[in-house]
Structures are given as C-alpha cells and as structure tokens.
Amino acid sequence: MNRALRIIFSRYGIIVIILLLVLGAIALATQREQTPLGGNNSGADNPTGDTSSEGFTEDDGLATENCEGDDCYPEEELPQEAVDRSVEFAEAWLNPNGHAASGWYDSIAPFLTTEAAEQMQGVDPISVPAKEITGESVPEGLKVGIPMDTGTLTLTMTEGSNNWTESGWLVSAIDWEQS
C-alpha cells in the first residue's frame, strides 16, 4: 500500500493522473458534441436515427423568403399620436419650468410606463444633458429620435397604461446619444 501511494504521488504518477483527467474531459466534450440538443440519443422518437432541425426551421412569421439584412422583419410604424406624445415627453424631460427633482419626476411620470417610471425615481433633472429641441422628431419603427442641442434623445414607445394614464402611448425606454 505504501509503495502504491509513493508511485501515485510521485512526479510521474501526478502526470499520469493529469493526463487521464484531460483525456476524460476531451472524451466527454466530444461525446457532448455528438449528442443532439434534446439529449435523447436513443432513437426512440426517431427510428431512422437521423437528426432533424425541424423545430429550428419552422416559420415564425417574421422572416420572408429570400430575405437579407434588415428587410427580413416587418417594420412597425408609430401613429402620429405616439410621435406627438414622445415630443411632449421630451419637452417635459428638458425641465423648462426648472422643477426640483420631485416636481420634474411628477411632470414626466405620466408619459412613462410603470417600469420606466420606477427607474426614473430619484433622478436629478440637472443630469439632463440638453437644453432645447433643435429639430423635427424622426420615427423609426417603435422608436422616435428627437434632435437636441447636444445630441439625440431616442424614445422607445409602447401602447399601454400606467398609474396616471388610462391607455395611450408611453415611453418604455430612454436612450441618449451625445453629438
């Protein structure tokens, strides 16, 4: 027993143990690559034994045939009401009345989804990086870009309701790109 332990814990014994562990890991990784995603390699569900990717090629209703690039997905267009609502939010976001944090939050909260409003709680209006809107809003899909004096405010619009608004277009995400 003592001799066996001395061989195992010698330099050569440790090298052999590490080599066996590495080869075992490689064998397991190779076996994992050969196993289908479902993990069932028994062939019971598929008597022919060939694997199929039917579940991954079903039509999801979004892509079109011979589709390349961004043209593969239907483009939703916002109604003018949503664009107008985004501009109203941007005007309140700029804090033209000089409200303190709580007053500013109260002025923008009716334009926000409940989740976005929760994220804006405690934000200081002094952190708003712009002073004025400098151009026309540009709707693109469900987003509206609003050019400002120091960058572009991009608002993601969604239809819904919150604690202040029964139903209508609300801002679900706010993104700022410095110019």
Number of domains in the chain: 2
Same domain for 172 and 104: yes
Same domain for 93 and 10: no
In a domain, 18, yes or no: yes
Same domain for 89 and 27: no
d(CA 169, CA 172) in angstroms, rounded, equals 9
In a domain, 129, yes or no: yes
Contact 109, 125 (CB under 8 A): no
In a domain, 55, yes or no: no
d(CA 24, CA 11) in angstroms, rounded, equals 20
Same domain for 154 and 92: yes
Q: Tell me the pLDDT of the chain (179 aa) as tens digits.
A: 778 778 778 888 889 899 999 998 888 887 766 655 544 444 444 444 444 444 444 444 444 455 555 555 556 788 999 999 999 999 999 999 899 999 999 999 999 999 999 999 999 999 899 999 999 999 999 999 999 999 999 999 999 988 787 888 999 999 999 98
Same domain for 88 and 10: no
Which residue range is the domain that position 7 belongs to?
1-33
Give pTM, 2 decimals: 0.58
Same domain for 85 and 153: yes
In a domain, 16, yes or no: yes
